[in-house]
């Protein structure tokens, strides 16, 4: 299998585009979940629209690119898609009630939950630095939840649940990434997600307004674009180099919230977000150190054969 040519500058540009698109999806979800564009839509209908239009975008791309597709590992795809669908639905529910910056910051816990879940599900061993990173990120989440009788954000628990479920999704993505090409994973994921979301939305579906149809289409297309940019960014540079740029999602979400909804994060939001990003960044750094060590060991063993 040929390796994608490495181009760090292009990787950074693609990752920044991905973060802008991802923040844009939460902006659209907030517009749809509030009365901005008409009567608020149920989170299940918002996630249904996300899968409908994302699948249409990816299917159209597949017709143009005509990629070689193999036999998918359906049980893994179904498990991954159920996790992803549940995660985005919870996130779309959360952003209707809490600032985009808070929900986005809490979503950065998903690699932390993925690390914790990898212990029982993948048999991975977690060292001291990873535990410190997890504890730090969780402490930041507690701050964002504002655990006081007059300040507690119950809706932020939806974002926390989304991060947990999407952490589980990472486990299945790791297993799929070793078996199938990235585009096939995206296409199959969105096809299965469309089926799941179409069944789940039946009891709550209502006719969207014209503005809501446009927002649903924009949400789906931006999600497909974000996934495509993310996958291609990761293919063009080491994950340890390009992953930190994904935290720009928080900046874009804050900017969108301020411009569209006139919501400016307070000091508690900035402190909690900074601690979560710090914990997630520490985890990413530790992962890069571990991968570099494994590559050195592999190179040494290869040189002896």
Angstrom distance (rounded) from CA 124 to CA 289: 16
Per-residue pLDDT for 272 more than 80? Answer: yes
Strands (E), 115-198: none
Model confidence, pTM: 0.84
204-237 residue pLDDT tens: 999 999 999 999 999 999 998 998 888 788 778 7
**Interval 232-266: pLDDT, tens:** 887 787 766 777 788 888 889 999 999 999 988 88
Three-state DSSP class for 78? helix
pLDDT digits (tens, 9 = 90+) for 63-104: 998 888 889 999 999 999 999 999 999 999 999 998 998 998
User: How far is residue 33's CA from residue 196's CA, in Å, rounded to a whole number?
Assistant: 20
As a whole number, mean pLDDT of residues 163-182 equals: 86
Rounded Cα gap, residues 198 and 204, in angstroms: 11
Residue carrying the six token digits 């940019």: 229
Phi, psi of 162 (to 5 degrees): -60, -45
CA-CA distances (angstroms) from residue 25 to 102, 220, 237? 15, 8, 25
Task: Give the model confidence (pLDDT) of 19-77 as tens digits.
Answer: 999 999 999 999 999 999 999 999 999 999 999 999 999 999 899 988 888 899 999 99
> Among residues 208, 145, 156, 172, which one has the least CA distance to residue 73?
172
Helix 74-94 and helix 156-177, axial crossing angle in degrees, nearest 10: 160
Q: What is the pLDDT of residue 227?
A: 84
What pLDDT does residue 299 have?
60
């Amino acid at each position: 299998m040929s390796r994608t040519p490495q181009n760090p500058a292009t990787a950074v540009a693609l990752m920044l585009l991905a973060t802008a698109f991802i923040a844009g999806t939460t902006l659209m979800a907030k517009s749809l979940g509030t009365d901005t564009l008409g009567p608020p839509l149920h989170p299940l209908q918002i996630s249904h629209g996300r899968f409908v239009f994302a699948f249409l975008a990816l299917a159209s791309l597949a017709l143009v690119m005509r990629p070689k597709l193999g036999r998918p590992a359906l049980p893994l795809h179904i498990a991954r898609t159920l996790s992803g669908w549940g995660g985005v639905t919870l996130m779309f529910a959360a952003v209707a009630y809490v600032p985009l910056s808070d929900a986005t910051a809490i979503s950065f816990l998903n690699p932390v939950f993925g690390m914790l879940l990898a212990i029982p599900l993948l048999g991975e061993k977690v060292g001291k630095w990873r535990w410190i990173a997890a504890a730090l990120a969780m402490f930041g989440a507690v701050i964002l939840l504002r655990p006081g009788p007059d300040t507690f954000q119950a809706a932020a628990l939806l974002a926390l649940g989304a991060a947990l479920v999407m952490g589980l999704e990472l486990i299945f993505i790791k297993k799929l990434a070793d078996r199938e090409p990235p585009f096939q994973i995206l296409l199959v994921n969105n096809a299965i997600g469309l089926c799941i979301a179409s069944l789940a939305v039946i009891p709550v579906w209502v006719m969207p307004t014209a503005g809501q149809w446009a927002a649903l289409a924009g949400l789906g297309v931006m999600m497909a674009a974000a996934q495509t940019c993310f996958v291609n960014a990761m293919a063009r540079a080491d994950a340890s180099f390009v992953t930190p740029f994904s935290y720009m999602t928080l900046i874009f979400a804050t900017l969108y919230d301020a411009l569209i909804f006139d919501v400016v994060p307070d000091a508690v939001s900035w402190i909690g977000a900074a601690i979560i990003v710090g914990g997630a960044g520490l985890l990413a750094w530790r992962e890069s150190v571990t991968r570099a060590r494994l590559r050195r060991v592999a190179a040494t063993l290869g040189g002896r054969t």
